[in-house]
Amino acid sequence: MYNDIVLDHLSDPRNVGVIENADGIGHIGNTADGDKITVYIKVENNEIADIKIKVFGCGAAIAAASMMTELALGKTLDEALEITNDAVAEALGGLPEHKLLCSNIAATALHNAIRDYKKP
């Protein structure tokens, strides 16, 4: 069902944890199937210097959140805002069709963390 890239991120998710005193925190949840992602970012010189995730959900949600952290780390905030859920799925080499809508929500959580950082 899952390809090797997805299985790698599922068995060894990257950047799991919490950033104490994070500059921005983003949450997203899908009530249809229970997937929940929280993203913590640390920003330095307008770039994502550190990123951590906490994920509750299926394998696709875990893999998508893990891949999203790899795509976002070191990017400027504007570059990170350009990361889409489709780009995350593409970087994973694809997700099963029935998982695309319900579990591929990580980029939205990232965008929410950036909005939290930018709020006055």
In CATH, 4-118 is 3.50.30.40: no
Kindly indicate the confidence band of residue 100, based on its pLDDT and cuts at 50, 70 and 90: confident
The Cα 67–Cα 84 span in angstroms is 12
- Which pLDDT value is given to residue 30? 73
Compute the average pLDDT of residues 5-14: 96
HSE, side-chain direction, 13 A CA sphere, residue 17 = 9
Answer whether residue 32 shows pLDDT above 80. Answer: no
Domain spans in the chain, listed from the N-terminal domain onward: 4-118
Of 55, 54, 66, the closest CA to residue 92 belongs to 66
The rounded percent of the chain whose pLDDT value lies above 90 is 81
State the chain's mean pLDDT as an integer: 93
The pTM score is 0.93
- Which pLDDT value is given to residue 102? 67
